[in-house]
Amino acid sequence: MSIRIVTDSTADLPSEVAASLGITVIPLYIHIGGSSYLDGVELTREAFYAGLPTYEAAPTTAAPAPDVFRETYERLAAEGATAILSIHISANLSSTLHVASLGARATTVLPVKVLDSRQLSLGTGFAAETAARLAQNGQDMDTIIAAVDEQILRTHTFAMLDTMEYLRRSGRVNWVVARLGNVLQIKPILRMYDGEAGAERVRTHSQARARVVALLREQAPLARAALVHTHTPERAEELRQECADLLEGLDVPSVDITPVIGAHIGPGAVGFVCVSQRAPYARRR
């Protein structure tokens, strides 16, 4: 059986990684003014983050139509796939999983399983990587899904935001809270675990960075880790140095977060996606 892995552009997989593992990445859309762009295809991260502070209206995002997923699944079948595992951003954050499921139900040429990563950014990307490596090693679908599901329960994402302004623009907080947060130098810390998003408010940049380090330490020892940021590589490298003892021996890439996510959290955000070596917490659902 030839199992192929599909994910979406919010997974933040470097193109060379996706290509080497045969992972197909379906881009989402980002709408800026009257124009629409395919995420990661028609709009670079550099151009997006350079323009973000100047956009009159907040950018909006959207999943592609179900037919895009169906056509992708059918194309992979024509290339020799006998089954597909489609892994996507948390259903609590995006409609992408639902749309992929509609595309899967419309696909009749091969079986398609759609899996909620219950994560975002490289939390989804790490799940897709693991699935692709297992598929290349000849594992069956049930074994792959079980392994990915177990990894998801050890995967944590957390990042400090530089401002609450973009949360306000996207409707995540009201303008009074956002303005007060900026006056008081509040730095939100966003967290994602097992499909549940959470937030903390910390005063000042230095306190927020210390909290991010503490969150990483809580998950040590680590099996995998990546720095994620919204076009602020210098801050990411500073954070790497501060966490050097926790990251020793690991390949820790520094990844610019997709504009589809960056539109909601703004420039200057930095944090980690990590997979703990420890046994996962008991599933809550």
pLDDT value of position 170: 55
- Could you tell me if 86 and 237 are in contact, meaning their C-beta atoms sit under 8 angstroms apart? no
Domains of the chain, residue spans: 3-28+63-152, 155-276
Cα–Cα dist 155/192, whole Å: 9
Q: What are phi and psi of 199, to 5 degrees?
A: -145, 150
Residue 282, pLDDT > 70, answer no
pTM for this prediction: 0.92
The residue length of the chain stands at 285
- Could you tell me if 261 and 252 are in contact, meaning their C-beta atoms sit under 8 angstroms apart? no
Mean pLDDT of the chain: 90
Cα–Cα dist 55/32, whole Å: 8
What's the start-to-end Cα distance of the chain, in Å? 31
- Name residue 125's amino acid: G
What average pLDDT does the segment 144-152 reach? 97
- In this structure, whether the domain defined by 3-28+63-152 belongs to CATH 3.40.50.10170 is answered with yes
Cα–Cα dist 232/257, whole Å: 10
Per-residue pLDDT tens over the stretch 197-253: 888 888 788 899 999 999 999 999 999 999 999 999 999 999 999 999 999 999 999
The CATH fold of domain 155-276 = Hypothetical Protein Tm841; Chain: A;domain 3 (3.30.1180)
- Tokens in use for 43? 């709009």
Could you say which DSSP state residue 56 is in? S
Cα–Cα dist 272/197, whole Å: 15
Residue 73, pLDDT > 50, answer yes
- Could you tell me if 8 and 95 are in contact, meaning their C-beta atoms sit under 8 angstroms apart? no
- Tokens in use for 28? 């989402």
